[in-house]
Amino acid sequence: LHALLHAQLDALLHAHEQRLHALLDALLHAHEQRLHALFHAHEQRLDALLHAQLHALLHAHEQRLHALLHALLDTLLHAHEQRLHALLHALLDAHEQRLDALLHAHEQ
């Protein structure tokens, strides 16, 4: 009787052990899946945040570059305008002198 009870107890213990093992496996799998989903969600959020920051940075640099190019163009245009102005004055002076010389030659 003792041996029979012992065998039954062993079988019962083994069955409970297997059920507990299966339950722990299922729990572990569920937690693993939940952790994976959480990680994926955080990864996506981080990706979106980094994308937004990169976009803002690019926009700021684009604006700075635009302002810099605008200033450079203004400086260049001003320099060319001054050069052109000086050239026109020199041409006007030369033509004026030529006209004066022609007038003077006609007067004599």
Q: What is the mean pLDDT of the chain?
A: 97
Q: Provide the whole-model pTM.
A: 0.51
Distance in angstroms (rounded) separating the CA atoms of residues 67 and 71: 6
- Average pLDDT value for residue range 83-95: 97
Helices (H), the chain: 2-107
pLDDT band at 108 (very low <50, low <70, confident <90, very high): confident
